[in-house]
Amino acid sequence: MHEEANGEESPRGVDQGDREFLSLERELTVLFRRARANQGEMAREVHPDLESAAYGLLVRLEECGRQRATELAGYIGVGKATMSRQLRALEQLGLIAREPDPADGRAWLVDLTEEGRSRVGRVREARRERYVTHFSDWDRREVAELARLLHQLNRGMEK
């Protein structure tokens, strides 16, 4: 193994030009692992019986308002059956409600209930406060740049 400048080892035979991509892969692996753990924690803060994966649905509804289940499934990247199961569970917990889509009587619109909106809002505010604390030694422009780069990464992964 070769030592890199940051003290990390790189595999033998890796082209110099590929090291940054291996570093990217390593850092994304750590980030995604931590994000999954945090998502589970945030989901339990919203409701003790909430599945980790459903937290993202609630955030999407809070940010964008009511949507069709197919729109949510496309955004999250899951199939229709998975989305139906998650929405049923959220409805049973009293966090979302469905109503017929006035533009298409066969479709349903999904939105947060007042209880869901309140719970998600509290958790997101607490999370924002934690980020402020964790990034207190960062310049706000650096935080904005990180958010911009993560947005760019997410957009690129949609393709």
Beta-carbon count within 10 A of 15 CB: 8
> Can you say how many angstroms the Cα of residue 110 is from the centroid of all Cα atoms in its chain?
18
- State pLDDT tens for residues 61-108: 999 999 999 999 998 889 999 999 999 999 999 999 999 999 888 888
Please state the pTM of the whole predicted model: 0.78
12-38 confidence digits (pLDDT tens): 666 666 888 899 999 999 999 999 998
pLDDT at 55 over 50: yes
Q: What are phi and psi of 91, to 5 degrees?
A: -65, -40
For residue 46, pLDDT over 50 is answered with yes
Encode burial over 91-110: b for 16+ CB neighbours within 10 A, e otherwise: eebebbbbeeeeeeeeebbb
Q: Give the model's pLDDT for residue 5.
A: 47
- Say which residue the tokens 């850092």 belong to: 27
pLDDT exceeds 60 at position 52: yes
Q: Mean pLDDT over all residues of the chain? A: 89
Contact partners, residue 1, CB within 8 Å, separation at least 6: 9, 10, 11, 12
Distance CA(120)–CA(62), nearest Å, equals 8
Question: 100-149: per-residue pLDDT in tens?
Answer: 999 888 888 999 999 999 999 999 999 999 999 999 999 999 999 999 99
Q: How many residues does the chain have?
A: 159
Torsions phi, psi for 6 (to 5 deg): -90, 10
Q: Is 66 exposed, middle or buried (0-12, 13-18, 19+ CB in 10 A)?
A: middle
